[in-house]
Each structure stands twice: as C-alpha cells, then as structure tokens.
Structure 1
C-alpha cells in the first residue's frame, strides 16, 4: 500500500513540474517580444516615414505656359519639388531650384526663399512636342517621400484631328484571304508599305477597315457636313477584277458605294495618286454616331493565282 502511494505522489510531482515549465517558456517568449517591440518603437530604433505635404494645387495652360498655383495647405520646400509632364510617349521633367517660381505679385522668388507657399505659382514653358498633343498628364511629386501630391490631365487646346483619319492606331484591318488581322500602320500613310492578300483565281477576297473614331474626343459635331473616303491601291497585271468598295454604319448592312466597273485598276500607286481616288460618302454618314461605327470593305475576285499580293497602301477618312 505504501509503495502505491509513493508512486502516485511521484507522478503528481512530475505533472506539476511540466506545467511550471510551460509557464516559464511562455514568460520568456513574452519578455523577448516585449524587448523587441520596445527597441523597434523607441525613438532610436523606429524608421520614421517621410512626411507627405498636404497641399492643394491649381493648374492651367495658357498659350505654351503651364501655371501651377499653391492654392492652400502646407508649404513645400522648393528643392523637394519635381514635376513630370507626359503625353503619349513624350516626357519632360522639371525639378528643384531650377523651377521658375513667382509670388502672388508676379515677382520671381529670391534664391533665399526656400518655400513654395500660398499664392506662389510655378511657370513652365511646355515644349512644342507636348503642346501638339490633345492632353498632357501632370504629376507633382514630393521627392523626399517619392509620393505624388497631385495628378491631373490638362487640355492643351491646340490638338486638332488629322486631315485624314486612318485605321491607325485605334481601328483595325482584317483580311479574309489570310484570316488575319493586319498591322494598322500599313495604311497610315502613302509610303509603299502595302497590305497583302493571298490571291486565288476566281476566289472572292476582301479587306475590312475600321477607324475607331470617337466623335466627341475629336470635336466633331453631331451633324456632319462632309465625309470623304480615300483609297490608294494598285492592281498590277490584272491580278484582281470586279474591284468593289462598300461601307457599313451598323456592323451588318453593307452598301456598295463604288460597284464594278466604277473602281478602276491601276498598275502603280503613282497612277492611283494621279487619279485621286476619293469618294464622297456624306449621304451614308451624316451623323457622328454613324461615323463612329463606320467600316469600309474593299473586295475583289482573283483573276490569277498569284499567292501573296500587295495592293492597298492607304485608306483614310476626311471629316468636315
């Protein structure tokens, strides 16, 4: 009996020791984490983030000059300012003490004036490359924090739609003979770079062109006074016959604007240019919504099997 009691007491003692051991380990872990936290968050151990100025800015473009006015909030150190202007693939940067900053009276700040404050404004002469674009995107950056304080899109007021709107860059070119979408750059200018089709005898081929026109962005009115279509192409050695031009303004119904034999064959681009192959399609495209949906189809029947055949150099729309 005594032996049994002794074993029970021993087992109970071992159980108590394990509990104390677990508590001791937990205490050590808590103390360790507390020590780390005190070190990290103490004044000497913490990494203090750079302050980002809370500043309101007002921007405008007049002529070729961008004006950025401090409209309220915190002052900004002049050396901390970086301004980035982008338009398409064009980019310009302006920064630091090299910026022209004037006070509200229009007097340039002295070199000893280190701060850009309420009422001060920055003047930047914008390059012609940027001003030729419709819009310029501006980033006002605080360099110590590398944060953008303000980002805006500014209208230059100078942009005009091109004289001829081609499928490049917002439209498309589809060739049914190859079942491929072709590069729109091929038709961006009269430059000897042609679209290519696979010509087979007695087979109908066509290329279809869209223009991706946004009438509002391009400043076109709802009612259009004139819409012209220009196509520059060649048909050497009578490889193509029954050349036909059709248009659609609803993605389904096609109207022949130049049925055979109205579309002539030209042995060279020069001959086509001399003929000035331009069609007035105003009667079919009288409004901006029809213009936005405009598609052009140039089709023909192969007169000889010539495999790859280059024939269209330019397709463009002129809107007035």
Structure 2
C-alpha cells in the first residue's frame, strides 16, 4: 500500500532524506536522489530571513525538477512571520511545506523556534494552523519526543497537529535535552502509529545507519517510512542498500572505490554549478573525509583535497587518487 502525502505518492515504504543545516543543499540532494532517496527537504529556512529577503535564506529556496518530490522546511518563533514564510515558500514551487519543531541547537531553540515550541503546544498548534491556511500545498511537521524526559508530549502533538491539517509527521526519537547524544528511542513513535485516531503517515527518524537496522525497526515499530540524516553524509548509497535489503534480504555490494570518487566528483561539480567556483570549492571541503572514510593511508590526499583552491586542482587530485596503485585493494569493495 502506497504512502500518500496529499496527492504525493511515495510508494510502499519511502526513505526520506532529512533536512540538515549546511548539508542538505541541492548538490548533496542530487547525489542522494541518484542513489534512491524517495523524498527530500531543503535545509531549514528562517521565516525571518525570508520576510526580510535575506540572500542566504532566499538561495535555500532553490529547487530543481529532478529533486521531486521535495519539501521546503521553514522555522521561526513568530506566528505571523511563519504564515508569511509559508506563502513565500509556496511560490518557489515545492511539493510540500515542512515545519521544523525539532532543531535542538541553541541559536534556534533558545530563540523560541525549532524544538522550543515543544514547551508551548498551544503556540505550536496556532503556528501550524497559520502555515496550513497560508498555502495550497500539503504541510508536514518534523519534531522530537519532547523537550526533556519529563515532558515527552509528542502524542499530544501528533493528535493536535493532525486536527489542524498536517498531512504527515516525522518524529526524531530523542528529546531536545538529548541533542544528538545517546540512543534514539522509537517506542513512543510506535504508540503514535498504533493509535487508531492517527490517520496521517508517521515517519521515524534517528539512528538508522544500516540495512539490518532499517529492516528490524520497520517490523518492530510499524512506521510508514524512515527519514535518514547523518548516515547519508558521504554515503548516499545507504538508500539503495536499505531498499535492496528490504527486497531481497541480501546485502548489496558496498560502493567500489571508483563509485566513491565518482559520487564525490559529481557532488563537487554540482556544488560549483550552484554556488560558483570559489564558494563551491570551499564548502565542498567538509565532505571529503566522509566520502573516503575508512580508507587506509588516505590522510595525505585528504589534506590535498581540503587545501586545493580550484576545480582544476581538485580534478587532478581525484584523478591521481583514482589511479594510485596503493588503493587497488579498494577497487572492488569498500567497507564503511
């Protein structure tokens, strides 16, 4: 049975790419889409930034046809500003609008946005209603279990947000107090999914980093799909590996060394196309160690990659890596 968000058909058990600040930009989304992500989101975008036409916020509205279905994720602390941001985002032509009620970082949560709204459910409901009313698109929400262990109120959140019109809910299995530490707990996510009064898709998020875990948790927690974040950084093959395991019960071969270089090069090219040669090269530096994680004797090349200043230099380094005999053992299979 297909999962539907409004009129968007996501197939039987969709794998979603999480919106991650400074990561989930169009170049990164491109390589994840190539390797099986079913739906993706922009980096979260400040409602304040959109309203005052801040260049950085407006740039994040860039979406491309090959990315569909894609959602624009917005966050903020002011209800009217979120209403305006919803309308502005809708004009960029996404398939849905997503509200971030999950970001735990200080400069978001301590300004009354993101996970902070878990401390004021009435305001969260009013804000969500405003966003829903301001757009013709489906509205979804991403949130956490609660603010801390004493206030795990996500069940109330799910019911009340469904009542004001959201079409799907993604739940990260940690509280705001946990940040990204400890283990994600999906037991409350399962309870929400089992609640007969909940009729929207429920997606689980947090700690999905292998095909085996994805398959086990799919059975154990009964969610409609999964959102994958950190495990996809430098390893977009996670999506195709999970899908293959679901289908066959077998492990797909790990990406070859050549595939790693190809994905890295594609990411670099897309980064330069979207950001320009200077910024594109500079901002790609955060990704190299992830693409070549676990490869012995790679430090020298990692240093070269993060200090190169032009595409031509980087292309030369990647070519040299590709043809270096000391990496021959990695040609057929590389473990992460």
What TM-score, normalized by structure 1, do the two folds share?
0.22
The answer to which structure, 1 or 2, has the higher relative contact order (CA under 8 A, 6+ apart) is 1
What TM-score, normalized by structure 2, do the two folds share?
0.21
Higher helix content, 1 or 2: 2
Which structure has the larger Rg? 1
Higher strand content, 1 or 2: 1
